[in-house]
Amino acid sequence: MRPKSSCVEERLVAGRYQLDRILGEGASGRVYLARDTKERGSVWAVKELDYSSLPPDEVAECRELFAREAELLKGLRHPSLPLVVEYFCLGLRDYLVMERVEGPTLEGILASRDEPLPEDKVWKIGLGLLKTLDYLHHRTPPIIYRDLKPANVMVTLNGQVKLIDFGIARVVAPTKSGDTTAYGTPGFAPPEQYQGKTSPASDVYALGVTLLRAATLYDPPQFQFTHPSAEELNPGLSQAMVEALNSMVRKSADERPSTGRLIQFFSAACEISPSGKEMTILARRSWRKIKRLFRNLK
């Protein structure tokens, strides 16, 4: 067991990065706040994966996943994705040096609340993530994120969203008909992911469940792919939000709307959603506009 304290003995890695304190940690690694000793004033987040307790065959698989994540991120430039500057290996540890993102995860925010997020914040978070997914899906070749959930969404101090942890993202190869492995988080991953098949619609489903949790505090059961209506979970939601969320979590991938169509819908909703209760009133008044867009979600 690793200590929970954020304090660590300072150490220099790669002759450059001074690890100061722990920003977060998981089963196999930590993320440190690091000072760059070669660029005065530069501060980074350094992700360290420690494989010393793993058998050799698992080390090889983990290192392959790490290298894939690092190469993916190095080639991406988007305001909602962390900027990666370099990665390297030292013994049985891998390191990823990236932009420091300040703020809690969406899961951390929701876990600390007794009531769902205000609806205007759900629209804003949803729109930010939709634009990020749309960017990934339109890369050449497309990138499917495959593990969207509140714990992988950071909300910065200025309210911007950041999508983190690309360890199981998949680059879609035209010559392959399915995934080689079925990853994802039970409760958030769609049914087709457990059949070794993912597509952009798989990310739409996971985002839908993520926003359903944000808008209702719903805790999705594992391996259950039919969810209660958003209206049942939170009767105070606007009809626009209910329709959007219900469309995103449809069991059949072919029936889910694309990120492009959802961006239009969420953008229109954000334009008429100043805050909380006002959102519901204004959305009803402007339902004709929203409903025209919703026809494209079906």
- What is the pLDDT, as a whole number, of residue 279? 46
pLDDT at 138 over 80: yes
254 is catalytic: no
Cβ-Cβ contacts under 8 Å for 126 (sequence gap 6 or more): 207, 211, 244, 262, 266
Which of 132 and 273 is assigned the larger pLDDT? Answer: 132
- Please provide the average confidence, as pLDDT, over all residues in the chain: 85
How far apart CA 105 and CA 240 sit, in angstroms, is: 26
Out of 35-39, 218-222, 241-245, 278-282, least confident range: 278-282
Rounded (10°) CA dihedral 232, 237, 242, 244? -150
- What is the pLDDT, as a whole number, of residue 26? 67
List the domain boundaries for the chain.
7-98, 106-297
- What is the pLDDT, as a whole number, of residue 24? 81
User: Which residue in 36, 94, 134, 147 is the catalytic one?
Assistant: 147
DSSP 104-138: -BHHHHHHT-SSPPPHHHHHHHHHHHHHHHHHHHT
Among 1.10.510.10, 1.10.10.10, 1.20.140.10, 1.10.287.3510, what is the CATH number of 106-297?
Answer: 1.10.510.10
Percent of the chain with pLDDT over 90: 57
Q: Indicate yes or no: pTM above 0.85.
A: no
Architecture of the CATH domain 7-98: 2-Layer Sandwich (3.30)
How far apart CA 260 and CA 130 sit, in angstroms, is: 8
Residue type, 288: R
Out of 53-62, 152-161, 174-183, least confident range: 174-183
How far apart CA 226 and CA 224 sit, in angstroms, is: 6
pLDDT at 130 over 80: yes
Segment 162-184, tens digit of pLDDT: 998 776 566 554 444 444 345 68
Residue type, 273: S
- What is the pLDDT, as a whole number, of residue 131? 98
